Amino acid sequence: MLLLGIDVGTSSVKVSVLDAGTMKWVASAQYPDTEAPIISLEPGWAEQDPEQWWGYVRQAIARLLQASVFDPLAIGAIGIAYQMHGLVALSAKGVAVRNSIIWCDSRAVAVGEEAYQKMGGASVLPELLNAPGNFTASKLGWVKKEEPDIYAKINKVMLPGDYIAYRLTGEITTTPSALSEGIFWDFQTNTLSEKVMQAFDFDAGLIPDIQPVFGTHGTLSAEISSMLGLRQGIPVTYKSGDQPNNALSLNVMRPGEVAATAGTSGVIYGVADTPVYDPSCRVNSFAHVNHSPEKTSVGVLLCINGCGIMNKSMRMLTGANQSYPSINQEAAGVKPGSNGLTILPFGNGAERMLRNANPGAQVHGWDFNGHGTPHFYRAAQEGIAFAFRYGVDIMRENGMNPGLIRAGFANMFLSEVFTSTLVNVLNIPVELYDSDGSVGAALGAGLGAGCFQENDLHLALTKRATIEPFETATYEGFYQRWLSLLEKSL
């Protein structure tokens, strides 16, 4: 039996096939080749068209099948990972009534804060583990307030992965994990939060049927199976946001274990067995994929919006047509500290770890005679790593003290500059593995279909390297310089 994993990212859709018996990779494909556009009609806004995601899914699967390295009729289960916190709103006819307001959109912060105070402010944190902030519930609240004609057309609201599962199966479901990332979930009652629904004045009928993360979320319809060239009736047995899914792909399932990603955004994600939360809501806690009423499993998430997108923007601003490997090589040719050049990478919307402030990306200490393009490349990657350190210190304040971080050997972790800076400024070793979101989604499908158990996930891991701290004192000085500039900007 084969397992199909679909990862609906901000930049592209990637799909992978795994052999359920061996838990090994068989084939992968991605679409598009260039990064998908983000629609920004106003400063701080970020939208994408859900129909475009669906088109990317179809194209990626078509590329996967073109390779002809496996029998598509052997696919027995489908798993879906997706960019977190996005709002997809459907009409009664099952059509999106507007573009999705995606994870890095900042417009709903004020709406979320108003609802938070209406619920009693910090008194609601033991139930929600988060303030509404600019998460999905707040995005829906913004539509209700600012686009009442569109809001009146909404029949169901969902997360991006729920939408892709709906397009595959025709069935609309969601999960406790998805609702928790949207700030709709009450961890004390393990149900939809009545306080949230009342504060925003939402009708509970807008919420789809709630199913476990690992379970059946519909089966591939006859029409779609014919369109995709897959067997009719394949069940969708898993749906998860990209960060809990990344943790699953790295076998980060138990309390104290920590995963990291450094794609468009950067994330540290640790697992706790108590409903931990940050009183200032600078880091956020969501239901992990294996959370249940009987077993508390909470993912504590630190997000830096300006991560890989900072690297991409630096490449664009320097007018370079180089590959990312060549940019990484140029950055490595500059000494640590970038000869005094310092970059704050906060240019991709409101940053939760900065209490929803949006200071924008900033460059400090630019010497026209002493700094060239390689210095900017290195300073950007160091700045991203320093932002990770800032967030990890917040996690430490809240009782999480990572001793080891697991990450996929991908995106920013392909850069020796970024990885060595991160390891040294955190003073924590990092293990790098061959893994990605679509592989994690396929593994999730296997768990949902009962092909193997959670304790078997380590069998799917292939370690690339372990990077140990080696120059912590030097990088601590550079970090303190960066921190001083950040504090002055806030």
The predicted-structure confidence for 212-247, as pLDDT tens digits, reads as follows: 999 999 999 999 999 999 999 999 999 999 999 999
Per-residue pLDDT tens over the stretch 273-313? 999 999 999 999 999 999 999 999 999 999 998 899 999 89
Categorize the per-residue pLDDT at 23 as very low, low, confident or very high, splitting at 50, 70 and 90: very high
The answer, yes or no, to whether residue 320 has pLDDT greater than 80, is: no
Q: Quote the pTM value.
A: 0.91
Mean pLDDT across 54-72: 96
Question: What band does 428 get if pLDDT is binned at 50, 70 and 90?
Answer: very high
Using the Cα atoms of residue 432, residue 437, residue 439 and residue 445 in order, give the sign of their dihedral.
Answer: positive
Query: Is 102 or 67 the better-scoring residue by pLDDT?
Result: 102
Rounded to an integer, the average pLDDT of 419-448 is 97
Per-residue pLDDT, 29:
97
Instruction: Report cis status (omega within 30 of 0) of the bond before 325.
Output: no
DSSP structure string for 248-293? HHTT--STT-EEEEESSSEEEEEEESS----TT-SSEEEE-TT-BT
* Range 40-65 average pLDDT: 96
Q: Provide the pLDDT for residue 356.
A: 85
Write down the mean pLDDT value for the chain.
Answer: 96
Measured distance CA(170)–CA(81) in Å, rounded: 18
Mean pLDDT of 444-463: 97
pLDDT tens digits, one per residue of 104-157: 999 999 999 999 999 999 999 999 999 999 999 999 999 999 999 999 999 999
Task: Report pLDDT for 458.
Answer: 95
pLDDT at 328: 95
Predicted pLDDT of residue 318: 86
| 431 φ, ψ (degrees, to nearest 5) | -100, 130
Summarised one tens digit per residue, pLDDT across range 373-410 is 999 999 999 999 999 999 999 999 988 899 999 999 99
Q: Of 248, 234, 169, 251, which Cα lies nearest the Cα of 208?
A: 169
Interval 469-484 mean pLDDT: 97
pLDDT in tens, 149-201: 999 999 999 999 999 999 999 999 999 999 999 999 999 999 999 999 999 99
pLDDT at 276: 92
Q: Given this model, what pLDDT does residue 134 score?
A: 92
CA 337 to chain centre: 29
Q: What is the pLDDT of residue 252?
A: 97
Please name each of the domains of the chain with its CATH number.
2-250 (3.30.420.40), 251-434+453-490 (3.30.420.40)
Assess contact for 325 and 414: CB atoms under 8 A: yes
Q: Is the dihedral of CA 65, 72, 449, 227 positive or negative?
A: positive
pLDDT at 373 (0 to 100)? 95
Three-state secondary-structure class, residue 317: helix
- Assign 340 a pLDDT band (cuts: 50, 70, 90): very high
